[in-house]
Every structure is written in structure tokens, then in C-alpha cells.
Structure 1
Amino acid sequence: MQPWQLPLRHAVIFLLLGCGLASAQQGDVVESSAAKFRVETVADGMTNPWAIAKLPDGRFLITERPGRLRIVENGKLLPDPVEGVPEVWAKGQGGLLDVVLHPDYARNGWIYLSFSKPLPKGALTSVIRARLKDNKLVDQETIFDPPADEATGAGVHFGCKLTFDKEGHLFFSIGDRGDVTNPTNNAQRVDNVKGKIHRVMDDGSIPPDNPYANTPGARPTIWCNGNRNPQGLIYDLPSGILWETEHGPRGGDELNIIRKGLNYGWPTITYGINYSGTPITDHTSQDGMEQPITYWTPSLGACGLTVYHGDKFPQWEGNLFAGALALTKIVRAKLDGQKVVEQEDILKGTGRIRDLRVFDDGYLYVVYDNPGKVVRLVPAN
């Protein structure tokens, strides 16, 4: 099987429509195969925005990778960043990363942030929570403090997406930090936190049913391993499925369903190759390692992932939306259960897409790393 071919059991029907090209302007009607929409700007003029969250009062929180948390209020980006954001290691791909609200935010006010934490040997992904009061983060608590001895000065593969399941567990992703050589093959080893999806309680404590909670020498937060650099992670409440996208090397970006204790193969198996064109491995499958639901070659630069549920686009109900940094587009994936049966490119060529979210208003929000802006898709009518 060639790297660009899909396994037969994961076959997909591709719709190469490429709708919504770079010429689409604010307010233009864009026609996809399932819906017509317009693009509205929510905020612009930002530097490397990474993620967005919506507060119950209608304001938006937006992270900027250099280390700023911004607020959009009444359609305007407030000039002063939120105070009290922890120091970040803003080098390479590092910096201030994801932001999500606690599922019971209306009662407890907790905001969760992931970031690359400066450490003596470099940096590693960390997670904190805090409350917002008068444009300042207060009551800050550490949810995941990375092991200092695992830090590295490499500027790549931090992850880190955050998502809650229906029981209130927090899942977060950490990339392999670019280390794939034996014997320091991070993603395949459970004695380190890198190249994994992790699961904790909302206060950072370890759930007793985590697969390595009681394994000597293993990191107890680990939920699964063998992940290269997961930058799409969403728990779909209606289906109970934890979906993930991760960057492959040159080719082999993956869409996975994440399950407890499984091994997703990197770098022992992959559909990608080294950036130099040389093989990483001769294997695309191996016993005891999971196959992706689908994969993309050439690489999307898969970043940002959501499942559409809302009243604005009933035609998109239950569809997956995956962002693409490198290929500058959104991939809409129609599902039949746990299989992708149709794909369509939308907003192709409009910029590097970092994050995708659907909030209670039913619009699809799109965060562009470059140009630094946030837009939303609204029905054409």
C-alpha cells in the first residue's frame, strides 16, 4: 500500500470542490455542497491567535501564542490583554495555546489554559485554571505541571488541545517534542508524558480508572500513547466519541478515535515519511497498534477540530470540521457512525487555520493564525 492510499476499511469519498477560495471577501456568499454561508469577522489585528472560547455574557476569550489572552466585547477587540497570564516559552511552536471553559462555568467560573512552560532545560506543556475578574486572572491553580527533567529546548510539538467529557474529565494532548529516535522514543514509552493524550479530573487529580494510574514507573495521567503532535481534540457529547487529529511528518496526518489505553503507533507505524523524503519506517500497520479513521497525504497541517451541532446549519449536523495550517483550508467530513464517508474542502486558500469552535449560537468559528483574525460562518440567508 502506498502512503497516499487509504486502508479499504477506512475508504472515503472525496468531494474536491475547493469552495470558498481566497477571493471570498467579508460578506460574500460561499456555496458548499451542503450549505451556503457568509463569512463575518469577529476580531482581527492579532498576533498568532491560537484558540477561542465564548463566555456566557457573549464576550470571547482569544489566546495569542506570544503569551497574551485577549477579550472581544461588543464586536471590538479590547486593547489591553488580560493580566495574570503565566509566563510562557514563546519560541518556535511554543507559547500560550488553548483556552476552554469548565462545563459548569456558570457556577464555578473556571477558565483552563494550556501553554509551554519555561523550565531549566527548555520547555514543556503545562495546564492551569483561573477565574477572570476585572480583566485579570485570579485564583490560579495548576492542573498539570510537567516533569522538569522531560523538558527540552526543541521548539516543536507541544500539542496542546483541551476538551472535557460528559463526566467532567479533562483531556489534553502533548506532542512528542520532535524526539522519535530510540531509546528516547517518547511516544511509545509510558514513563514520560510526551506523545500522548492525557486525562485528569477537573482539579488535576488522577482518575483511578486511568490505564496507568497504578503502574510503577508510568505517568498516571496517560490515557493513550503513540501520538506525534495532536493539535485537534474534541469530545463529542452526543456520540460520546473523543476525536483527535494529529500532524504527520511529510504526509500521514491522521484522524483518530481516542480510546483508553490504546497505542496509536507513532513512529513505529505511519503513513508519512521524513521531510527529507527518506522512510521513517517500513510499516503502516502492526498488531497492537491502531489504524487511523482516515489520513491525509499531502499533510494538511491538521490543527483545530470540532463537531457541528447547532440550529444554523442543519445540513452540517454531526459533521466533523478539521482545520489545516499548511493547506490553508477547512475539511468538512461527513460521518456514517465512526466512518468518514465524504470530505469537502471549504474556505480553501484563505489562510492558516488554527482553531475551529461551535458555541451555543450555532455558528462555526474559525481562528486564523495568519492572518491573525477570527471569523464565523453564518447562513447566507
Structure 2
Amino acid sequence: MKKSIAGSTLLIPAMAFAQPADIGIAPVALHSEPYVFDTAEQHGIKVTVLAKDFDRPFAIEFMPDGDLLIVERGKGLRILRQATKPGAQLDPQPVADFPVPTDDWTFSVGVQDVALHPDFARNHLIYFTYNEPAPKPASDTSIYRYARLTLMRAKLEDGRISNVESLLTGGPSAALGSRLAFGKDGKLFVTTGGAFGEIAQELDNIYGKVLRLNDDGSIPSDNPFVGREGANPAIYSYGHRDQHGLIVDAATGAVLNAEHGPNGGDEVNLIRPGANYGWPRYSYGRQYDGTHLAEMPLAPGIEKPLLVWLPSIAPTGLMIYDGDRFPKWKGNLFVGSGRRGEIPGTGGLERVVFSPDFGELRRETLLTDLHQRVRDFAQGPDGLIYVVTDGPENAVLRIEPSQ
């Protein structure tokens, strides 16, 4: 089903085609005893629940002292104290003075992602993306509400933030998720959603793009669209749909994103400056009623994805493991999954083995026995892997070798 809005095409979301009530797999009730699983190459991992019952967790970020920041989407920040040590404790109070929207709908407003400045230990600066509710055009009859995506910076000290400032703000949009990652050169990459209409192909706005900024919010002089009339100079790449994963590889500096297709066609892309990734004109996905979305998934001038999922896995976070605790996983890409094939209760982690030039060699699916929606994950300072799940118990999990 499509509707025309201001001359563009709006894709009706999944909930417009309601699933039968009996589709889905019941989630596991997470218990305090560790889970032990075999894996294809590491052979033996232990998964422990560290904390649960957060409010819509969306992202995690480690602080230098081993405390773990947890984004509660639309609400604020929580801190899991000493997450890497025995007896980790969730701070009962959220981070004080964090901005919270007054609107009571939390799916896509408020805080989305958080990142620490590379020199956080000295300057205590954090960056976060924030969707501020905005008026919806009368012509838009979809179920989505509108927001302005804002990149914000603040100081985080002693459990509270201060000196909050806005570095970049977009216009009103039916914005979805966003992610942040610092590059090796200190530049900040920001992903933005552009699921509806042609907005992802239009260069005069920030939506459906990967943006690149200096740490003070100014525009790097070598961005690909600097000086181009009618183009926003913050744009680094365009033609993206809904991006819930972003990473800059510490070893190579390569930038990768993970983005949702509509119904299938989920992608991981190697992000190149100035490149067009095709949405909405080119996609491997289908409409939510099963009909074809695009006549062709690729065309001259459209970047080919590194990875594609048919059916969908609802991709979330990204990580390239570079620690020593899982030697067989070193250099592997991890991709979070909310659910597979539109079936609730089927999320987990995807592990992908690449050749040095990003040629795919093998894939493995992890944590599916827990039937959780994985929202984000991170490599801890101890070299272990920490995962946050979204629903129904909203837990932080630690993955470590079982022996």
C-alpha cells in the first residue's frame, strides 16, 4: 500500500498489515544462572544477566572506568556501575538534568544514541542525538509523528550533565533511529533516518544520510558536498533508509552502517564519501504487503551493500571485535538483530567473518535460544562483549568464554 504525500511516496509501515496474533515465539524468562552455548569457532560461551527492567533501552556506551551508560529511548540515561566487575549495580537514579521530551510518546522522540568524546577522560564531553517533537504537516495522514533531530553535546560528571548545547538541528521529519561514532581522526559520524518519500535522495536536508562533523559541530572542509549549491555540507553519504548501526573500524578507519530495509533488504554498507546507497529507488526489500518495492536493487552509481538479509533481521548495533578474550572472533563483524523474517521473539547476534577486503566468508547466528530483541552491544574494556536487549525484560547481558 502507498499513499502520496506532497508528490512523494510514503511507505506504509509494518503495523498497517497486522500479523496474526498467534505469530511469534515466546521470549525466555531470563534467570540469574548463566547460560552456556556452543559456537562455531570460539566453542563455548557463557551469557550472564547483569541487570534488567530498563525502559526501552536503545544504546550502550562504556566509560573509561568500566561504568556502562544505557540509553532509555525517549527517557534519558542510566548508569550500570562497575559493569565489568562482579556485583555490578544499576544506579537507581537516572543521569540528572538530562533533557526529556514533554510529549508522552516515546517510540522515536527524546534521546536516541550516545557517544563519548575520544578525550572523555580529560574533558568529560558526551554527544547524543535527540528527537524533539515537531508539528506534523496537515497533508501527512500516516501514523508517524514528526520530530527535529538534534545533535547535542554536554559534560557528564558525578552522575549529572551540564553545559548542554545543540550542535546541529534538522527540520521537521518523521525521524526514526540514529547512531553516533567517532573516527580515527576525531571526526564525528551521525546516521539519520529517511524512510519516507524521496527525502533520502534530496541533498538539501540531513535525513536518510550519514553526516560527518568536527567535534565542535562545524563542517570538515574535506566533506564531499562542501561548496555544492543546494547541498547540506554535513552530508557524507546519502540514500539511506533507517540506520540503527554505525561503526568506525579502529584498525582500518573504515565506516560501516547497518540499515533496515522495509520487509527484507536489510543491509550493512561500507560508507564511501559522496556515495549514493539507493533508497528509496533501489532496494532488495519488499513492501509490507509482500509486493515488490523496486524494479531493480542496484543501478550504475548506486553502491552495492556488503551484506544483505532476505528476509529481514531488523539490524541494530555494529561492532568489529578486536579484543583478546575471544581469539577466534578477532576481526569479526557483529550485527544485532531484533527479529528474523518478521517473526517476534527471534532476535540475537549475527557474526560475520570477512576477508581483508570485506569479502564475506562465513556467518553465524548467536543467542537465538534466548528469544530477545538485541538493541545494541559493545566490547568492554575487559575484552568481553556486553549486550542490551529490548523486551520484554530489557536486560544487559555479558558474554564471556565458558572456560
Query: What TM-score does the superposition give when structure 1 sets the normalisation length?
Result: 0.88
Mapped partners of 2:380, 2:267: distance in 1? 25
TM-superposed deviation, 1:244: 1.0
Matched with 1:4 is none
- The reply on whether 1:358 has 2:379 as its aligned counterpart is yes
Which one of 293, 304, 327 corresponds to residue 317 of structure 2?
304
**2:400 counterpart letter in structure 1:** V
Decide whether the 8 Å contact of 1:211 with 1:260 is kept in 2. Answer: yes
Question: How many equivalent pairs are there?
Answer: 350
Work out the CA distance in 2 between the residues paired with 1:236 and 1:249: 27
User: Does the alignment pair 1:125 with 2:143?
Assistant: no
2:184 — aligned with what? 166
Aligned to 2:40: 33
How far apart in 2 are the matches of 1:82 and 1:353? 23
Structure-to-structure mapping, 1:1-381, within 5 angstroms: 26-35=33-42, 36-74=44-82, 75-88=88-101, 90-121=105-136, 122-147=146-171, 151-152=172-173, 154=174, 157-176=175-194, 178-180=195-197, 185-327=198-340, 328-337=347-356, 338-350=358-370, 351-370=372-391, 371-381=393-403
- The RMSD of aligned alpha carbons is 1.7
- In structure 2, what is the Cα distance between the partners aligned to 1:292 and 1:58? 35
Give the Cα separation in 1 of the matches to 2:318 and 2:369.
18
Say if 1:22 and 1:348, in contact at 8 Å, map to a contact too.
Answer: no
Query: Does the Cα contact within 8 Å between 2:170 and 2:205 map onto a contact in 1?
Result: no
Higher relative contact order (CA 8 A, sep 6+): 1
Aligned mates of 1:125, 1:132 — CA distance in 2:
21
Displacement of 1:349 in angstroms is 4.5
Rounded to whole Å, the distance in 1 between the matches of 2:78 and 2:328 is: 33
When structure 1 is superposed on structure 2, of 108-117 and 294-303 the one drifting more is 108-117
> Sequence identity of aligned pairs in percent?
38
Secondary structure (helix, strand or coil) at the match of 1:145 reads: strand
Deviation at 1:24, TM superposition (A): 8.3
Shift of 1:22: 5.3
Output the amino acid matched with 1:101.
Answer: L
Could you list the structure 1 runs, at least 4 aligned residues long, displaced by more than 6 angstroms after superposition.
none
Letter paired with 1:366? V
Q: Are the counterparts in 2 of residues 87 and 117 from structure 1 also a CA contact under 8 Å?
A: no
Distance 1:56 1:92, change over 3 A: closer
2:184 partner amino acid: K
- Equivalents in 2 of 1:293, 1:134: separation in Å? 42
2:178 is aligned with what amino acid? C
Q: Flag structure 1 segments of 5+ consecutive residues without an equivalent.
A: 1-20
2:4 aligns with none
- The CA deviation string for residues 98-139 of structure 1, in whole angstroms up to 9 with x for no partner, is 111111111211111112122344303221111122321112
Distance apart, 1:23 and its partner CA: 8.7
1:357 to partner: Cα distance: 1.0
Identify if the C-alpha distance between structure 1 residues 346 and 113 changes in structure 2 by more than 3 Å, giving closer, same or farther: same
**How far is the alpha carbon of 1:60 from its aligned partner?**
1.3
Unaligned runs of 5+ in 2: 1-26, 83-87, 137-145, 341-346
**CA deviation string 1:15-68 (max 9, x = no partner):** xxxxxx959864122110011111122321111111111112221111101312
Query: How much has 1:94 moved relative to structure 2?
Result: 3.3
2: CA distance, partners of 1:42 / 1:379: 16
